[in-house]
Chains A and B, each alone.
Chain A
Amino acid sequence: MTASEPANPWLSWDYVQNNWADISEALGQHVSLTVQAVVIAFAIALPLAMLAHARPRLAGPILGLSGVLYTIPSLALFAILAPFTGIGRTTVLIGLVAYALLVLVRNILVGLQGVDPEIRDAARGLGYGPTRVLLTVELPTALPAIVVGLRLATVTTVALVTIGVVVGFGGLGQLMFRGFNSNYHAEVMTATLLCLAIALVADLLLAVAGRLATPWVRTGSGA
């Protein structure tokens, strides 16, 4: 992006320095909303996926329902929630959790279903019960797929937080919209770049954490 007018540059270090308090507040809100949403969504998705895995008949309805939630546009979902949960943080958080849910449930389920049947049989042959097989064999084996799901969910959530602007809780989206309304290019661009940076950093952190948690994948001999 090059400056279209000299008086209103897209990138301005002065803006960042003079408004750091403002920016860091929006940044903090953005990050905390993302983290909370992903953690809550994961806490719901994990048991749901395990249930769908243990009772395959429930897999269709669970995936279908989260698919319907996912199809509803974020703006519409916030609009449907806002009259009931009020204008503010809760509304945004519920919306974000709803979107992260589908990605997480689907990836965890794919991971669990992708476990080599021979590994499962071996564990059963060692006398493991179904719960123990799930917790000590299937879940660890499915970890790479789960990490992929977490990364996807986190990156999309970072982008989605900005729509929270319609109920006044959009993190960096707040800055973008304010900058847009006052025709302040630097504010829009800084917030956009920070959004990209959060997504990138979160993705990297999760990727590294995933690698550390699954040392057997790196050797290439694991399942």
Chain B
Amino acid sequence: MNDDNIVGQALVWLNDPLNWQGPDGIPVRTLEHLTMSALAVLLATAVALPLGIWLGHRGRGGALTVVAANTSRALPTFALLLIFASTAIGFGNRPTVLAAAIFAIPVILTNTYAGLRDVDQDVREAARGMGMSGRRSLALVEIPLALPLIGAGLRTAVVQVIATVPLAALVGGGGLGTYIITGLATRRFGEVLAGGVLVAGLCLGAEGVMAGLQHLMTPRPMRPVGRRPRRAAARVARAQS
């Protein structure tokens, strides 16, 4: 076992100034990774958020969200990525962004839908009773009440997309996955380990940042207090799974 050796190699690789500059440097690759992720999340949000709000508001389409969630779970991202890359979409970053976006759609859709569905019927009726139109009740009452679940969906989607983007390296794209794939191909395991740690760190960091953002995005009265966080977390977890 030369475990220490590989960890040592990874440390040397991470400390090599050459790996921190140029078009293949860690900052450039990280930025590329984050740009691709942001694009994918924006694409997915643009499709899933309005659709989820509309379906949830109308109270229809529950079956659609379930089918979307189940199919996306069973269909390997890798397969969709390869299929996209073999078509006119081409190699590189574009198929990855598309595939990541498609897999983020069900996550956002399910949570948005569940958030709006979960709004108490009495609250909805009270809004109508106060003379609000359907659209005003949606904008002023239902969406704010659904925000925690919508935020949870976005958070999961962001982390999931950042975790999916490394696959780009398998179809000739960029991002932090390149270190892993190049390292495996050249049997430089120090680089593989360093790449793996970088990607894992980015994901855990993103999870932390998104948790903070979700907290800020939740209207103050709806933030979990005291004993409630565990139940809220469990409900979110169930909505996601």
Please measure, in the bound complex, the distance between the C-alpha atom of A126 and the C-alpha atom of B87, giving whole angstroms: 66
Any A CB within 8 A of the CB of B180: yes
Total chain A interface residues with beta-carbon distance under 8 A: 49
Minimum CB distance partner of B198 in chain A: A76
Given contact pairs A4-B88, A84-B6, A103-B241, A71 touches B207 in the complex (Cβ within 8 A):
yes
Q: Do A82 and B189 touch (CB < 8 A)?
A: yes
Q: Do A76 and B170 touch (CB < 8 A)?
A: no
Point out residues on A near B: beta carbons under 8 Å. 1, 4, 68, 71-80, 82-84, 87, 103, 106-107, 110, 152, 155-156, 158-163, 165-167, 173, 176-177, 179-180, 183, 185, 188-189, 191-192, 195-196, 199-200, 203
Any A CB within 8 A of the CB of B200: yes
Most chain B Cβ neighbours within 10 Å, of A73, A80, A173, A200: A73
Nearest chain A CB to B99 CB, angstrom units: 12
Q: Do B163 and A71 touch (CB < 8 A)?
A: yes
Point out residues on B near A: beta carbons under 8 Å. 3, 6, 70, 73-80, 82-83, 85-88, 159, 162-164, 166-167, 170-171, 177, 180-181, 183-184, 189-190, 192-193, 195-200, 203-204, 207, 234, 237-238, 241
Please measure, in the bound complex, the distance between the C-alpha atom of A165 and the C-alpha atom of B80, giving whole angstroms: 15
Q: Do B234 and A68 touch (CB < 8 A)?
A: no
Q: Is the interface of B mostly helix, strand, loop or mixed?
A: helix
* Cβ contact of B79, chosen from A68, A106, A191, cutoff 8 A: A191
Please measure, in the bound complex, the distance between the C-alpha atom of A72 and the C-alpha atom of B6, giving whole angstroms: 20
5 contacts between A and B (CB under 8 A): A76-B197, A76-B203, A79-B193, A200-B74, A203-B74
Please measure, in the bound complex, the distance between the C-alpha atom of A153 and the C-alpha atom of B159, giving whole angstroms: 19
Given contact pairs A73-B199, A166-B184, A173 touches B85 in the complex (Cβ within 8 A):
no
Q: Do B159 and A71 touch (CB < 8 A)?
A: yes
Given contact pairs A188-B83, A192-B83, A79 touches B184 in the complex (Cβ within 8 A):
yes
Given contact pairs A158-B74, A162-B78, A167-B184, A72 touches B200 in the complex (Cβ within 8 A):
yes
Q: Do B74 and A180 touch (CB < 8 A)?
A: no
Given contact pairs A72-B204, A196-B75, A106 touches B189 in the complex (Cβ within 8 A):
no
Q: Is the interface of A mostly helix, strand, loop or mixed?
A: helix
Q: Do B204 and A199 touch (CB < 8 A)?
A: no
User: B77: which A residues are within 8 A, CB to CB?
Assistant: 159
Nearest chain A CB to B241 CB, angstrom units: 6
User: A75: which B residues are within 8 A, CB to CB?
Assistant: 166-167, 177, 180, 196, 199
* Cβ contact of B196, chosen from A80, A110, A158, A180, cutoff 8 A: A80
Q: Do B170 and A83 touch (CB < 8 A)?
A: no
Q: Do A177 and B82 touch (CB < 8 A)?
A: yes
User: B193: which A residues are within 8 A, CB to CB?
Assistant: 79-80, 83
User: A183: which B residues are within 8 A, CB to CB?
Assistant: 86
User: B70: which A residues are within 8 A, CB to CB?
Assistant: 155
Nearest chain B CB to A128 CB, angstrom units: 27
Nearest chain A CB to B158 CB, angstrom units: 11
Q: Do B203 and A79 touch (CB < 8 A)?
A: no
Complex A-B, nearest 10 residue pairs according to Cβ-Cβ distance, in ascending order: A79-B196, A73-B163, A199-B74, A83-B189, A76-B199, A80-B196, A192-B79, A159-B76, A83-B6, A76-B196
User: B198: which A residues are within 8 A, CB to CB?
Assistant: 76
Nearest chain A CB to B85 CB, angstrom units: 7
Q: Do B241 and A192 touch (CB < 8 A)?
A: no
* Cβ contact of A76, chosen from B82, B200, B238, cutoff 8 A: B200
Q: Do B6 and A185 touch (CB < 8 A)?
A: no
* Cβ contact of A188, chosen from B79, B200, B207, cutoff 8 A: B79
User: A106: which B residues are within 8 A, CB to CB?
Assistant: 237, 241
User: A188: which B residues are within 8 A, CB to CB?
Assistant: 79, 82-83, 86
Minimum CB distance partner of A161 in chain B: B76
User: B237: which A residues are within 8 A, CB to CB?
Assistant: 106, 110
Please measure, in the bound complex, the distance between the C-alpha atom of A218 and the C-alpha atom of B132, giving whole angstroms: 44
Please measure, in the bound complex, the distance between the C-alpha atom of A26 and the C-alpha atom of B56, giving whole angstroms: 42
Q: Do A160 and B76 touch (CB < 8 A)?
A: yes
Given contact pairs A77-B200, A110-B238, A155 touches B83 in the complex (Cβ within 8 A):
no
Most chain A Cβ neighbours within 10 Å, of B80, B171, B177, B200: B200
Please measure, in the bound complex, the distance between the C-alpha atom of A192 and the C-alpha atom of B199, giving whole angstroms: 26
User: B86: which A residues are within 8 A, CB to CB?
Assistant: 180, 183, 185, 188
